[in-house]
């Protein structure tokens, strides 16, 4: 029987980054720790989560169907489009470590100059990996996704125009977690397990 209370519509959401190895909150209602930084506004498209599998089927002599179907590899991706331009976003998009960026302070004399950040891009030596935390929120319900280690595997073009903000479309791919932990954990409020 249908139950409208089980329909989730992600009306809001947040994305947080931290260093790989950071401790995630123990529950979906708990605040993110001091090591997690809010990555800023996300476009109304929200979060696109995908799970792909590569499978191997083993056949047996005399059988007309596979006898074993093995999952060979599972790849989880998370796609978001961010509106804000900040150092964390520039680091992820251009794959430049924060330590490789330079900030030049504002000056008032001899002539006024604004503060600016500068960095080079194009080197494959820098690979940025982060811990990523995602919250999908709807009417008091929360779906929290915690990715222990991930990197940007795809990015959309940044468009500079008067019609829209300069957005950063990033697809994160979950990587094997440090220490053999789960690479992706989900916490969803108000979903009960069936009684056995």
> Looking at residue 4, what DSSP letter applies?
G
Please check whether residue 2 lies inside any domain of the structure: no
pLDDT of 99-150, one tens digit each?
999 999 999 988 999 999 999 987 787 789 999 999 999 878 999 999 999 9
User: Could you tell me if 95 and 177 are in contact, meaning their C-beta atoms sit under 8 angstroms apart?
Assistant: no
Long-range contacts, 47-51 (Cβ 8 Å, 24+): 47/10, 47/13, 47/78, 47/79, 47/80, 47/134, 47/136, 48/78, 48/79, 48/80, 49/76, 49/77, 49/78, 49/79, 49/145, 50/76, 50/77, 50/78, 50/79, 51/75, 51/76
Q: Is residue 6 part of a domain?
A: no
Cross-strand bridge partners of residue 82: 42, 168
Domain of 160, CATH number, reads 2.30.110
Q: How confident is the model at residue 86 (pLDDT cuts 50, 70, 90)?
A: very high
Q: Is 4 a member of any domain? A: no
Q: Domain containing 183: what range?
A: 11-55+65-188
Q: Does residue 29 lie within any of the structural domains?
A: yes
> Is 154 contained in some domain?
yes
Domain tally for the chain? 1
Split at pLDDT 50, 70, 90, the class of 178 is confident
Let me know how long the chain is: 196
**pTM, two decimal places:** 0.90
- If we measure between CA atoms, which residue out of 70, 50, 48, 49 comes closest to residue 59? 70
Q: Is residue 1 part of a domain?
A: no
Share of the chain above pLDDT 70, in %: 100
């Amino acid at each position: 029987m249908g139950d409208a209370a089980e329909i989730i519509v992600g009306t809001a959401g947040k994305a947080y980054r931290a260093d790989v190895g950071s401790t995630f909150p123990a529950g979906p209602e708990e605040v993110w720790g001091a090591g997690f930084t809010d990555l800023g506004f996300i476009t109304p498209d929200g979060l696109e989560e995908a799970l792909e599998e590569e499978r191997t089927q083993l056949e047996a002599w005399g059988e007309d169907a596979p006898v074993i179907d093995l999952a060979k590899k599972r790849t989880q991706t998370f796609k978001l489009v961010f509106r804000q331009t900040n150092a964390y976003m520039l680091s992820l998009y251009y794959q430049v470590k924060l330590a490789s960026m330079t900030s030049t302070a504002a000056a008032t004399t001899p002539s006024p100059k604004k503060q600016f950040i500068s960095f080079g891009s194009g080197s494959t030596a820098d690979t940025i990996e982060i811990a990523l935390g995602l919250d999908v929120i709807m009417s008091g319900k929360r779906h929290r996704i915690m990715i222990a280690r991930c990197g940007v595997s795809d990015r959309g073009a940044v468009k500079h125009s008067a019609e829209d903000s300069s957005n950063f479309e990033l697809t994160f791919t979950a990587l094997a977690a440090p220490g053999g932990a789960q690479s992706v954990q989900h916490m969803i409020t108000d979903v009960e397990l069936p009684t056995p």
